[in-house]
Structure 1
Amino acid sequence: MDQSLHAVKGNRVRRLRVSQRVAVTALAALLAGAAAPALATADSKAVPKAAAGQDRPELQQAIQAFVDAGFLGMQARVNDERGEWVGSAGQRKLGASAKPPTNGRFRIGSATKPFIATVVLQLVDDGKIGLDASVVDYLPEFELDRRITVRMLLQHTSGLYAYTGEFRPDGSVEPGIPAAGREWVDNRFKTYQPQELVRFAMSRPARFEPGKGWSYSNTNYTLAQLLIEKVTGHSIAEEMKRRILRPLKLRGTVVPGTTDLPGPHAHGYYRYQDESGQWKVVDVTRQNPSLQAGNGDMISTTKDLHTFFSALNSGKLLPTRLLAEMRKPHPKSAGIFGSYGLGIYVQDLGPGCGIVLNHNGSATGGYSTAMLSTPDGKKTLTASITFGDVAPDLAQAFSKALENLLRQVFCGGQARRADEATPAP
Structure 2
Amino acid sequence: MSRTPQPTRMSALAVVCTLAAGAALAVPGVAFADDRRPRTDEVQETLDHLVEVDGVPAALATVTDHRGRDRNRVAGVGNLATGGRVPVDGQVRIGSNTKTFVATTVLLLVGDGLVELDAPVETYLPGLVRGPVDGHDITVRDLLQHTSGIGSYTNGPPFITDGAVTLTALKDWYVEPHELLALGLAQPATPPGAWSYSNTNYLLAGLLVQKVTQRPLGDVVTDRIIEPLGLRDTYVPGRGERAIRGDHPLGYHAEPAGSALFEHTDIDPASSWGAGDIVSTPGDLTTFFRALLGGEILQPAELEQMKATVPMDLPGIPEGWRYGLGLQSTELSCGELAWGHGGIIPGYQTDGGVSEDGSRGVTVATTTMHAMLPAEASADVTARISELVDTVLCS
> TM-score under structure 2 normalisation?
0.84
Question: Aligned in 2, Cα 1:111/1:297: closer, same or farther, shift over 3 Å?
Answer: same
Deviation of the 1:100 alpha carbon: 1.6
Query: Could you report, residue by residue, the CA deviation over 1:275-313 in whole angstroms, capped at 9, with x for unpaired residues?
Result: xx9935431100111111101111001121122111111
CA distance in 1, matches of 2:244, 2:336: 36
Amino acid of the residue matched to residue 42 of structure 2?
A: E
3-state SS of paired residue (2:359): coil
CA distance in 2, matches of 1:316, 1:91: 36
Corresponding position of 2:281: 301
For structure 2, the residue ranges without an aligned partner over 5 or more in a row are 18-32
Contact 2:47–2:59 (8 Å) recurs in 1: yes
Query: Could you report, residue by residue, the CA deviation over 1:245-289 in whole angstroms, capped at 9, with x for unpaired residues?
Result: 11111111111120111110011111113xxx9935431100111
Q: RMSD across aligned C-alpha pairs, in angstroms?
A: 2.8
Amino acid of the residue matched to residue 123 of structure 2?
A: D
Deviation of the 1:105 alpha carbon: 0.7
CA distance in 2, matches of 1:106, 1:117: 21
Deviation of the 1:143 alpha carbon: 3.5
2:77 is the alignment partner of 1:91: yes
CA distance in 2, matches of 1:220, 1:109: 15
CA distance in 1, matches of 2:226, 2:302: 20
CA distance in 2, matches of 1:228, 1:197: 17
Q: Which moved more, 1:284-293 or 1:200-209?
A: 200-209
Corresponding position of 2:28: none
Work out the percentage of aligned pairs sharing the same amino acid: 34
Deviation of the 1:332 alpha carbon: 5.0
Corresponding position of 2:391: 408
Amino acid of the residue matched to residue 289 of structure 1?
A: P
2:311 is the alignment partner of 1:331: yes
CA distance in 2, matches of 1:356, 1:399: 15
Amino acid of the residue matched to residue 310 of structure 1?
A: R
Contact 1:110–1:361 (8 Å) recurs in 2: yes
- 1:359-398 to 2 correspondences below 5 Å: 359-363=341-345, 365-387=346-368, 391-392=373-374, 393-394=376-377, 396-398=379-381
3-state SS of paired residue (1:124): helix
Identify the match of residue 191 of structure 1 among 174, 196, 199.
Answer: 174
Corresponding position of 1:161: 151
Question: Aligned in 2, Cα 1:263/1:22: closer, same or farther, shift over 3 Å?
Answer: closer
CA distance in 1, matches of 2:251, 2:301: 39
Amino acid of the residue matched to residue 163 of structure 1?
A: Y
Corresponding position of 1:234: 215
Question: Aligned in 2, Cα 1:395/1:72: closer, same or farther, shift over 3 Å?
Answer: closer
Identify the match of residue 302 of structure 2 among 322, 327, 338.
Answer: 322
Contact 1:62–1:404 (8 Å) recurs in 2: no
Identify the match of residue 47 of structure 2 among 37, 53, 63.
Answer: 63
CA distance in 2, matches of 1:388, 1:152: 28
Question: Aligned in 2, Cα 1:409/1:358: closer, same or farther, shift over 3 Å?
Answer: same
CA distance in 2, matches of 1:122, 1:52: 43
- 1:149-228 to 2 correspondences below 5 Å: 149-165=139-155, 175-178=156-159, 183-209=166-192, 211=193, 213-228=194-209
Q: Higher relative contact order by CA 8 Å / sep ≥ 6: 1 or 2?
A: 1
Query: Could you report, residue by residue, the CA deviation over 1:297-352 in whole angstroms, capped at 9, with x for unpaired residues?
Result: 110011211221111111111111111111111135473482001001111112x2
Structure 1 residue ranges (4+ consecutive) displaced by more than 4 angstroms after TM superposition? 179-182
Query: Could you report, residue by residue, the CA deviation over 1:6-63 in whole angstroms, capped at 9, with x for unpaired residues?
Result: xxxxxxxxx741299936849x9xxxxxxxxxxxxxxxxxx987x9873x61211012
Contact 2:10–2:341 (8 Å) recurs in 1: no
Corresponding position of 1:18: 7
Question: Aligned in 2, Cα 1:22/1:314: closer, same or farther, shift over 3 Å?
Answer: closer
Query: Could you report, residue by residue, the CA deviation over 1:110-144 in whole angstroms, capped at 9, with x for unpaired residues?
Result: 01111000000000111111100001111113144
Question: Aligned in 2, Cα 1:349/1:290: closer, same or farther, shift over 3 Å?
Answer: same
CA distance in 1, matches of 2:160, 2:211: 27
Question: Aligned in 2, Cα 1:214/1:207: closer, same or farther, shift over 3 Å?
Answer: same
Question: Aligned in 2, Cα 1:59/1:143: closer, same or farther, shift over 3 Å?
Answer: closer
3-state SS of paired residue (1:87): strand
Q: Number of matched residues?
A: 361
Amino acid of the residue matched to residue 153 of structure 2?
A: Y
CA distance in 1, matches of 2:229, 2:336: 27
Deviation of the 1:198 alpha carbon: 0.8
Corresponding position of 2:26: none
CA distance in 2, matches of 1:224, 1:232: 12
Question: Aligned in 2, Cα 1:388/1:80: closer, same or farther, shift over 3 Å?
Answer: closer
Query: Could you report, residue by residue, the CA deviation over 1:337-389 in whole angstroms, capped at 9, with x for unpaired residues?
Result: 82001001111112x262110101001x1100124100111101012101299
Amino acid of the residue matched to residue 11 of structure 2?
A: V
Contact 1:151–1:342 (8 Å) recurs in 2: yes
- 1:105-144 to 2 correspondences below 5 Å: 105-144=91-130
- 1:243-282 to 2 correspondences below 5 Å: 243-257=224-238, 258-273=241-256, 279-282=259-262
CA distance in 1, matches of 2:8, 2:105: 32
CA distance in 1, matches of 2:197, 2:56: 26
Contact 1:20–1:395 (8 Å) recurs in 2: no
Question: Aligned in 2, Cα 1:23/1:240: closer, same or farther, shift over 3 Å?
Answer: closer
Contact 2:6–2:387 (8 Å) recurs in 1: no
3-state SS of paired residue (1:142): coil
Question: Aligned in 2, Cα 1:342/1:301: closer, same or farther, shift over 3 Å?
Answer: same
Contact 2:8–2:385 (8 Å) recurs in 1: no
